[in-house]
Amino acid sequence: MSEKTILVWFRNDLRIHDNEILLEATQKAAIIVPVFCFDPRHFTQTVYHTQKTGGFRTQFLLESVADLKSSFQKMGGDLLIKIGKPEEIIPQICKAYKVDEVFHHREVASEETEVSSLTEDALWKLKINLKHFIGHTLYHKEDLPFPIKDIPDVFTSFRKKVERESIIKPSIATPNKIIVPQNLEESVIPTAQDLGIDISPKDSRSVLDFKGGETEGLKRLKYYLWDTNLLQKYKLTRNGLIGGDYSSKLSAWLTAGCLSPREIYWEIKKYEKERGANESTYWLIFELLWRDYFRFMFKKHSGTFFREGGFKGVKPEVAPNQQELFEKWKNGETGLPFIDANMKELNLTGFMSNRGRQNVASYLVKDLKVNWTWGAAYFEEKLIDYNPASNWGNWAYIAGVGNDPRENRYFNIPKQAKDYDPKAEYMKLWLPELGALKPEELHQKQ
């Protein structure tokens, strides 16, 4: 090991397990400076007049950073926490601690890659290298059977070839200890107020009490696989609407990088070996592959996912009074109980089922004819598990300007409500004022 000092810049990789930048830094340097920056740009308004990060995700992020700091302290180190722009903060820290090199994980969305570029330029002036790693996907892009530019725009074609010809690397070992500079300054976790964000009280109807951090993420993974065997019936229950057990609910921890997708994959493989494989165990891996796919699509098509015409370049039709319709949609005041219930859940908890997301998105774009990017931006503010690729990729898919090979995909809301909420339990949970109505009456209101 050299006498080098390496700064490890954490972003959406808030864990010590399966973390290549952390392990390699401990192997190549005598001293590590782990850093997390709360970038003020993440807590401002967007061009859509929405908040870039709402209260629920802010709370989850604060808890996740606190957990990472605690993990480092148990290993004999610490996490240096700052509020500021990384391209200004990171070079200052490098000067203070005589850093030789900076490690970080590469991102795929335009704003995140821009911050990387700005930081790289600032470090270059100090003759310090920013080393990029890839650590957010199941499959490493170097192991794909095609270059990024040639990835099929249809998921099924991508999946079949990747499953047949690519490998998933083993998880990376977790370091036992970490040595930080003796004079590393003490830092504290900011409050949501420090970041200019208001935190709403948690609603008791939430599917889960989402708590940020690697510790909680690994606990949830253990619960869903080993403690309850819920994985055995995931494919049968995944379209549920009420409670914590109808789906894995791992997405929030994946988004913040508290859980590694590879760690989940290998845990499922271990589970299959010990307790049996079936369609459900495969289906959770299938969902992880969708997550990979949207990240690779962002790498291929870049900022086109944020445009109204997507990468297909054709804008969907919009209504003349779309602003008024959008306000009703986001406030859960459309008059359609199934749509309104889902939007109430999102607004009050920061979460919505996959089935709900597809329905409210389809309704906004296809029925109300509102600009789909407004809906995507609203989800960006509200969702605990928001990440750019999955969110904007899925919205573009529903809007017909992304990766959907079918023309004019449409969700029949009355049928969806009957199929997935036949007893109207979900609608009555979130719209208690409709509690006296019979299920058939509620279904007629769709």
Residue 327: phi and psi, rounded to 5, are -60, -45
> 186 in a domain, yes or no?
no
> 158 in a domain, yes or no?
yes
> 261 in a domain, yes or no?
yes
pLDDT of residue 15 exceeding 70: yes
Q: Which residues are annotated as a binding site for FAD?
A: 234, 247-251, 287-294
Q: Do 125 and 142 fall into the same domain?
A: no
> 178 in a domain, yes or no?
no
Provide the pLDDT for residue 444: 84
**CATH assignment of the domain containing 275:** 1.25.40.80
Q: Do 220 and 355 fall into the same domain?
A: no
Kindly tell me the number of DSSP H helices and DSSP E strands found in the chain.
18, 5
Question: Residue 211 carries which side chain, given as an amino acid letter?
Answer: K
Q: How confident is the model at residue 302 (pLDDT cuts 50, 70, 90)?
A: confident
Percent of the chain scored above 70 by pLDDT? Answer: 99
Q: How confident is the model at residue 303 (pLDDT cuts 50, 70, 90)?
A: confident
Of residues 291, 270, 301, 319, the one with CA closest to residue 385? 291
Q: Do 147 and 126 fall into the same domain?
A: no
Q: Do 279 and 247 fall into the same domain?
A: yes
Provide the pLDDT for residue 441: 87
Of residues 133, 109, 134, the one with CA closest to residue 295? 109
> 244 in a domain, yes or no?
yes
Q: Do 15 and 130 fall into the same domain?
A: yes
What are 240-258's pLDDT values in tens digits?
999 999 999 999 999 999 9
Percent of the chain scored above 90 by pLDDT? Answer: 92
Q: Do 273 and 355 fall into the same domain?
A: no
Provide the pLDDT for residue 81: 98
Question: Residue 219 carries which side chain, given as an amino acid letter?
Answer: K
Among 247, 274, 304, identify where a domain stops: 304
Beta strands in 71-227 (DSSP E): 80-83, 101-105, 129-133
pLDDT of residue 1 exceeding 60: no
Among 276, 304, 332, identify where a domain stops: 304
Side-by-side strand order, sheet with 31-38: 80-83, 31-38, 5-10, 101-105, 129-133
Provide the pLDDT for residue 246: 97
Q: Do 101 and 142 fall into the same domain?
A: no
**CATH assignment of the domain containing 59:** 3.40.50.620
Provide the pLDDT for residue 311: 87
pLDDT of residue 11 exceeding 80: yes
**CATH assignment of the domain containing 353:** 1.10.579.10
Residues near 339 by Cβ (< 8 Å), separated by ≥ 6? 329, 332, 359, 360, 363, 413
Q: How confident is the model at residue 33 (pLDDT cuts 50, 70, 90)?
A: very high
pTM for the whole thing? 0.97
Task: Give the whole-angstrom CA distance, residue 64 versus residue 61.
Answer: 5
Determine if residue 400 is left, alpha or beta; phi over 0 gives left, psi from -120 to 50 gives alpha, anything else beta. Answer: left
Q: Do 278 and 362 fall into the same domain?
A: no
> 191 in a domain, yes or no?
no
Task: Give the whole-angstrom CA distance, residue 397 versus residue 310.
Answer: 9
What are 394-444's pLDDT values in tens digits?
999 999 998 877 777 789 999 999 999 999 999 999 999 999 999 998 888
What are 353-408's pLDDT values in tens digits?
999 999 999 999 999 999 999 999 999 999 999 999 999 999 999 999 988 777 77
> 198 in a domain, yes or no?
no
Looking at every residue in the chain, the average pLDDT score rounds to: 95
Number of domains in the chain: 3
Q: Do 120 and 252 fall into the same domain?
A: no
Provide the pLDDT for residue 360: 98
* Maximum mean pLDDT: which of 43-47, 101-105, 199-203: 101-105
Average pLDDT of span 201-226: 97
Q: Do 163 and 273 fall into the same domain?
A: yes
Of residues 24, 113, 124, 36, the one with CA closest to residue 72? 36
Q: Do 18 and 101 fall into the same domain?
A: yes
Provide the pLDDT for residue 56: 97
Q: Which domain holds residue 330?
A: 321-445
Q: Do 155 and 243 fall into the same domain?
A: yes
Q: Which residues are annotated as a binding site?
A: 234, 247-251, 287-294
Provide the pLDDT for residue 410: 85
Cα 401 off chain centre by: 21
> 75 in a domain, yes or no?
yes
Task: Give the whole-angstrom CA distance, residue 290 versus residue 282.
Answer: 13
